[in-house]
Amino acid sequence: MSARKSERIMNLTICLLMARRFVEREQIRELVEGYHGLSDQAFERTFERDKDDLRAMGVPVETGSNSPLFPDEVGYRIRRRDFELPEIDFTPAELAALGVASTVWDDARLGGQATAALAKLRASGLDPDADRVATFAPTVGAREPAFETLWQATLAGQPVAFTYRGLARVVEPWRLVNRKGAWYLIGLDRTRGEGRSYKVSRIEDAPRLAKGEVTPPDPAVVEEHVRSLTARRDTLAMIAVRDGAAPDLVRFAWPVELEPDANPDADPAAQPPPGFTAWRLRVASDPADAAGDIAWYGPDVVVLDPPELAAAVRAHLEAVAAWR
């Protein structure tokens, strides 16, 4: 971030933080050094980017009106109680745990938010030390193309539209849940009028933000959907993974020692190709559910058994190739 932009965002933060009422756009344009001299279009673009940057850094920019008679006169403010941290006192062990938590995300889209949270803690005088225990830190990836839009929609309380199993869906997102490396969106399906869960890797197009608001769900309903994901039945599969590839997948698996010469009549398809290692892995009992997760790794992962899962992965890859 350039020095000029940093100064402008700092001035905007002070302006909105010190205001007791919502500050309208034209007032912001006059008060904040950095917006002076910009054309109308340039100001709108710059102001929108600055708001997004503040929110990405964890600064809650609130939108509202000072008069119920004129709700269209929109203004902005930062409420001190939403922005400032209360007195916090962590033990050294708790600070170390916070540091590890900040390193969990191996995806840049989410790692930035963890970094922003740490910056806020350090600004309050705390120092979560991630380096001491970085060797033991787990990682959670979010590589699905649809994930970022769903993540932002969930944070913003914004409905989202996408295609799933050939049907158009409009969903009010409640929570994103990671189960054994796979992401699921839990939310209210507006068409069905009930809570549903969707495997993110099986969303067939780019999600779009939809109109309307998200009605806050009953926490007990959300937790029930989370439990149902955990309770889903699994089955064992045997896969071959290219050596050194897919570390986030094989950490849930265990190696299998195969002896190809023990059975000369064995199906060659049930043997790992050269440069691959065989692994046992628990997957969803429904091949269609498991196929999307395995197909993600492309040629680096080959299903050896069961045959129906191998067929489902091939069908998934063929469908993706045809779609592109």
Residue 239 shares a structural domain with residue 313 = yes
As a whole number of angstroms, the distance between CA 228 and CA 235 comes to 16
For residue 94, the model assigns a pLDDT of 66
Residue 34 counted as domain residue: yes
pTM above the 0.75 mark?
Answer: no
Domain that holds residue 268: 234-323
| Order of strands, sheet of 234-242, starting from the edge strand that comes earlier in the sequence | 254-255, 276-284, 234-242, 301-305
DSSP state of 263: -
Residue 223 shares a structural domain with residue 264 = no
Residue 168 shares a structural domain with residue 181 = yes
- CATH code, 20: 1.10.10
How is residue 75 written in tokens? 């203004």
For residue 309, the model assigns a pLDDT of 92
H, E, C per residue of 169-228: EEEEEEEEEEECCEEEEEEEECCCCEEEEEEHHHECCCCEECCCCCCCCCHHHHHHHHHH
Per-residue pLDDT of the chain (324 residues; tens, 9 = 90+): 677 888 898 889 888 888 888 999 999 999 898 898 899 999 999 999 999 888 877 788 888 888 777 667 789 998 877 766 666 666 766 665 555 555 555 444 555 555 555 555 555 555 545 444 443 344 455 667 888 899 888 888 899 999 998 889 999 999 988 876 678 999 999 988 999 999 898 898 999 999 888 988 888 888 888 888 766 667 889 999 999 998 878 888 898 876 554 444 445 557 889 999 999 998 877 787 788 778 888 899 999 999 999 998 998 888 777 655
Residue 117 shares a structural domain with residue 153 = no
Residue 106 shares a structural domain with residue 182 = no
Residue 204 shares a structural domain with residue 242 = no
For residue 83, the model assigns a pLDDT of 65
Residue 310 counted as domain residue: yes
* Number of separate domains in the chain: 4
pLDDT tens digits along 32-73: 988 988 999 999 999 999 998 888 777 888 888 887 776 677
Residue 305 shares a structural domain with residue 317 = yes
Judge whether 172 and 215 are in contact, CB under 8 Å.
yes
Residue 141 counted as domain residue: no
As a whole number of angstroms, the distance between CA 282 and CA 316 comes to 19
Distances (CA, A) of 176 to 140, 169, 200, 301: 13, 17, 9, 26
Residue 142 counted as domain residue: no
Residue 181 shares a structural domain with residue 217 = yes
Other C-beta atoms closer than 10 Å to the C-beta of 22 total: 18
Residue 226 shares a structural domain with residue 243 = no
DSSP state of 33: T
Residue 258 counted as domain residue: yes
The dihedral through the CA atoms of 179, 182, 185, 191 has a sign that is: negative
Judge whether 188 and 174 are in contact, CB under 8 Å.
yes
Residue 195 shares a structural domain with residue 225 = yes
Residue 226 shares a structural domain with residue 238 = no
Residue 35 counted as domain residue: yes
Among 83, 104, 123, where does a domain finish?
A: 83
Among 75, 107, 136, where does a domain finish?
A: 136
